[in-house]
Structure 1
Amino acid sequence: MPVIHLIAPSGYCVKQEAAHRGVERLVSAGHEVENQAVIPRRFQRFAGDDNARLSDLSEIAQLSESTDIVLAVRGGYGMTRLLESVDYDAIARRLEQAPLAICGHSDFTVFQLALLARHPQAITFSGPMLAGNFGADDLNTFTWHHFWQALQEPEFTLQWVSDNTPFEASGTLWGGNLSMITSQVGSPWLPNIEGGILVLEDVNEHPFRVERMLMQLLRAGILNKQQAIILGSFNGTTLNTYDDGYNFDVMCDFLRSKLTVPLVTGLNFGHEARTVTLPLGASARLSHQGDMAMLTLSGHPVLRR
């Protein structure tokens, strides 16, 4: 069964009980969970000082081939501090040696995209984390199934209901958390991917803030040089009377009027309990027929049987 190595390069894990519940679930499912000492580690609001959290990333390059998965404990904030100090070359070499699924989302997005910017073949997984997902009060079976599907199947297809005109597109899948991506515009840590399929998600961001960030990506020349854009989950906010009819769907309609490429919504991907796992840097084929979108992914590392 897979060996899972924990890392905590971002915020302190407030929900300690949830993290330990996540470990128990993974162990009960037959997996070995290493490096549990990072769970209680704390310095200010971070999961350890900068050196400790950087060491988590540096250790990835030294993991034996018996390690199958690197799993982030949680997101928060902290990865941005470390970007200049990460040895991306060493991590990429480790990924070339043997399959290794590096998984996380939210704040972890900036590490994943910085690695992809340096090494376009270095595929990581945007998906569940220890505390918030595997340690949830009730484990979401959809999330559990799609996590192992992405890590075990060399090619898999996701389907979901979405409203769009028919189209087909293919390219490199990339993206993750919208706020983290927007924060790196103009920096060397954001991949310069043309003709890709960009997938985005966020949490606790009102639709007008989502619109503002998407407009920044548009004006930076990023959105219209993709083959297509997928919007995942954008949960955690409440509309009020001031919005006067403005909502997420209205925002999407406005964005479509500015785009020259398809915009697809409705994918269960992001901070909600129900989320798919996506290999960032993998080959993707996206199509839309009727009221269904279909995304096929391949070329990513898979666990040894």
Structure 2
Amino acid sequence: MAHIYIYSPSGAVRDKAAFRRGVQRLKGLGHEIEIDPSALATWQRFAGDDATRLAAIGRAAASGADVALITRGGYGLSRLLPALPYRALARAVRHGTRFVGFSDFTALQLALLAKGGGVTWAGPALLEGFGTAEASGPDEIMLACFGDMVSQTGEGTGWRLPAADVAALEASAGRRRSPHLVHAATLWGGNLALVQSLLGTPWWPGVEGGVLFLEDVGEHPYRVERMLAQLLHAGVLARQKAVVLGQFTDYQLTPHDRGYTLAKVVAWLRSQLKVPVLTGLPFGHVPTRVLLPVGAKVDVLIEERDALLLWGHQH
């Protein structure tokens, strides 16, 4: 199967049992696992100080592995952006290493995209993806998508659109009757807070005419709206061909909200844009998560209530 290099570029691994479970499950799938020497390092809230984590990223890039998989997200990559080994990362991508992660990993993915470093994969981390304590084990859809990525046979993903999405598309003059919503657009995005944090920095990828996908965790709808509003007012959203919203989880509405829900945020966003806004993408801080090739060219098709995100083979 695959040679998988496991490293920690962001937060410290506190759950050692989940780490061990994840490693054993990947071995059980037939993969060869190589663990970075500082994968379990700790310094403050980080997996080692900045120099330690930069060295780990460098070793992942030099590993020659088929897959370089982060242990977890958290926080830590933003402060490393000026010093990341972009050339080594880009060279590793060209030579076939698939860098996989999500959440805080968005910062590295988009910075590398800004530097022309090639396609990386938004997908699981070791702990929450493979080290889950659930008796049923890792999510079957996530495992299937990971297997497709490893074998380089995955060509896309699909999901069922909410009725509100279909109504909005039908009301849009731009859709007409063609099921082909978007053709050959760059897929980019990730965690909304991390995407927003890069705006105006040297590591902003500046993608225009792309498909922007977004997710987040622990962010109340008003904070989600505020982050979307910054991207909107900066002109980022209007310059895309589509905005695709994944899962926004682990927040608590209060009596003060009085009906102000995430659905209201989406409705407001649609009122501000001519660009199609799709929801329900199975991606985020949830067990059922597809893998997405950040930086790849994709098509978006709508067939009745089914949305299809297609990218063909990514090598």
- Structure-2 residue corresponding to 1:83: 81
Give the whole-Å Cα distance in 2 for the aligned partners of 1:215 and 1:14.
Answer: 35
CA distance in 1, matches of 2:46, 2:113: 24
Query: Which deviates further from its counterpart, 127-136 or 157-166?
Result: 157-166
Aligned residue identity for 2:182: A
Kindly provide the CA deviation profile for residues 46-99 of structure 1, in whole angstroms up to 9, marking residues without a partner as x: 0001111001111233223xx210000000111011100012122212222x21
Give the AA of the match of 1:135. Answer: G
Secondary structure of 2:301's partner?
A: strand
* 2:106–2:194 Cα contact (<8 Å) kept: yes
Q: Please state whether the residue corresponding to 1:298 is helix, strand or coil.
A: coil
Q: Tell me the secondary structure at the aligned position of residue 271 of structure 1.
A: coil
Q: Which residue of 1 aligns with 2:264?
A: 250
Match of 2:310 among 273, 276, 296: 296
> Among residues 111, 115, 119, which one is paired with 1:114 in the alignment?
111
Residue type at the aligned position of 1:78: G
TM-score normalised by the chain length of structure 1: 0.94
Q: In 1, Cα distance between the equivalents of 2:192 and 2:111?
A: 15
CA distance in 1, matches of 2:39, 2:61: 20
- What does 1:11-160 align with in structure 2 at a 5 Å threshold? 11-64=11-64, 67-96=65-94, 98-119=95-116, 122-138=118-134, 139-160=138-159
CA distance in 1, matches of 2:264, 2:153: 37
Structure 1 residue 154: deviation in Å?
4.7
Residue type at the aligned position of 2:312 = S
| Counterpart check, 1:7 vs 2:7 | yes
State the superposition RMSD in angstroms: 1.4
| Aligned partner (choices 223, 244, 263) of residue 277 of structure 2 | 263
Q: How many pairs are equivalent?
A: 297
* Structure 1 residue ranges without an equivalent (≥5): none
The change in CA–CA distance for 1:115 and 1:104 in structure 2 (over 3 A counts) is: same
Whichever residue aligns with residue 173 of structure 1, its letter is: L
Contact 1:155 1:296 in 2 (8 A): no
1:169 to 2:198 alignment: no
1:155 deviates by: 5.0
8 Å contact kept, 1:150–1:156: no
Query: Structure 2 stretches of 5 or more lacking a match?
Result: 176-180
In the TM superposition, residue 36 of structure 1 has moved relative to its aligned partner by 4.8
Specify whether residues 207 and 283 from structure 1 end up closer, same or farther in structure 2 by C-alpha distance, changes over 3 A only.
Answer: same
Aligned partner of residue 102 in structure 1, secondary structure: strand
Cα deviation digits, residues 146-175 of structure 1 (max 9, x gap): 122234345513121112325411201000
Between the aligned partners of 1:94 and 1:130, the Cα distance in structure 2 is 20
Residue equivalent to 2:242: 228
Which letter does structure 1 place at the counterpart of 2:70?
Answer: A
Encode CA deviations 1:96-126: one digit per residue, 9 max, x unaligned: 2x21110000011000100000015x10000
After TM superposition, give the deviation of residue 38 of structure 1 in Å: 3.1
